[in-house]
Amino acid sequence: MQIKNGNLYTQGCFFEPHDLIVSGDRITRIAPSGFDSNEEEVLDAAGCYVLPGFVDVHIHGADGADFCDDTSDHISTISNYLGKKGVTSFLGTTMAFSEEILNHIIDDALPHFNQEEGGAVLRGINMEGPFFAKSKKGAQAERYIIDPDFEMFERLMERSKNNIRLCDIAPELPGAVEFISRAAKQCAVSIAHTTATYEETKEGFAAGANHVTHLFNAMPPFAHRDPGVVGAALEDADYVELISDGIHIHPAMVRTVFQIFGADRVCLISDAMRATGKPNGEYTLGGQKVSMTDGKATLADGTIAGSATDLVECFRRAVHFGVPIEMAAKAATINPAKSVGLEKEIGSCSEGKRADLLILAQDLSVKAVLIGGKRIV
Region 78-90: mean pLDDT is: 98
SS3 sequence of the chain? CEEECCEEECCCCCEEEEEEEEECCEEEEEEECCCCCCCCCEEECCCCEEEECEEEEEECEECCEECCCCCCCHHHHHHHHHHHHCEEEEEEECCCCCHHHHHHHHHHHHHHCCCCCCCCEEEEEEECCCCCCHHHCCCCCHHHCCCCCHHHHHHHHHHCCCCEEEEEECCCCCCHHHHHHHHCCCCEEEECCCCCCHHHHHHHHHHCCCEECCCCCCCCCCCCCCCHHHHHHHHHCCEEEEECCCCCCCHHHHHHHHHHHCCCCEEEECCECCCCCCCCEEEEECCEEEEEECCEEECCCCCECCECCCHHHHHHHHHHCCCCHHHHHHHHCHHHHHHCCCCCCCCCCCCCCECCEEEECCCCCEEEEEECCEECC
Residue 11 has what pLDDT?
A: 86
271 catalytic? Reply is yes
Among residues of the chain, what percentage have pLDDT more than 90?
A: 96
In tens, the pLDDT along 116-151 reads 999 999 999 999 999 999 999 999 999 999 999 999
Residue 38 has what pLDDT?
A: 82
Residue 53 has what pLDDT?
A: 98
Whole-number average pLDDT of the chain:
97
Contact between residue 3 and residue 357 where contact means Cβ atoms under 8 Å apart: yes
- Is residue 253 classed exposed, middle or buried when 0-12, 13-18 and 19+ CB atoms within 10 A define those classes? middle
The radius of gyration of the chain from alpha carbons, rounded to an integer in Å, stands at 20
Other C-beta atoms closer than 10 Å to the C-beta of 236 total 16
Q: Which of 56, 66, 69, 271 is catalytic?
A: 271
Region 339-350: mean pLDDT is: 97
Spatial distance between the Cα atoms of 56 and 193, rounded to a whole number of angstroms: 19
In tens, the pLDDT along 198-233 reads 999 999 999 999 999 999 999 999 999 999 999 999
Give this prediction's pTM: 0.97
Is the link from the previous residue into 32 a cis peptide, with omega within 30 of 0?
Answer: no
Region 338-355: mean pLDDT is: 97
Report the length, in residues, of the chain. Answer: 377
Give residue 190's Cα distance to chain centre.
13
- Is residue 63 classed exposed, middle or buried when 0-12, 13-18 and 19+ CB atoms within 10 A define those classes? buried
What pLDDT band is residue 165 in, cutting at 50, 70 and 90?
A: very high
> Does 83 score more than 90 pLDDT?
yes
Region 260-266: mean pLDDT is: 97
Region 224-251: mean pLDDT is: 97
In tens, the pLDDT along 294-307 reads 999 999 999 999 99
Residue 36 has what pLDDT?
A: 83
- Residue 232's nearest CA partner among 207, 200, 255, 208 is 200
Spatial distance between the Cα atoms of 133 and 96, rounded to a whole number of angstroms: 11
Residue 157 has what pLDDT?
A: 98
In tens, the pLDDT along 4-59 reads 999 999 988 999 999 999 999 999 999 988 888 888 899 999 999 999 999 999 99
Phi, psi of 104 (to 5 degrees): -65, -40
Contact between residue 359 and residue 48 where contact means Cβ atoms under 8 Å apart: yes
What pLDDT band is residue 346 in, cutting at 50, 70 and 90?
A: very high
Spatial distance between the Cα atoms of 374 and 377, rounded to a whole number of angstroms: 9
Complete domains list, the chain, with CATH: 2-49+362-375 (no CATH), 54-346 (3.20.20.140)
Residue 51 has what pLDDT?
A: 98
Phi, psi of 27 (to 5 degrees): -80, 120
Amino acid at 337: A
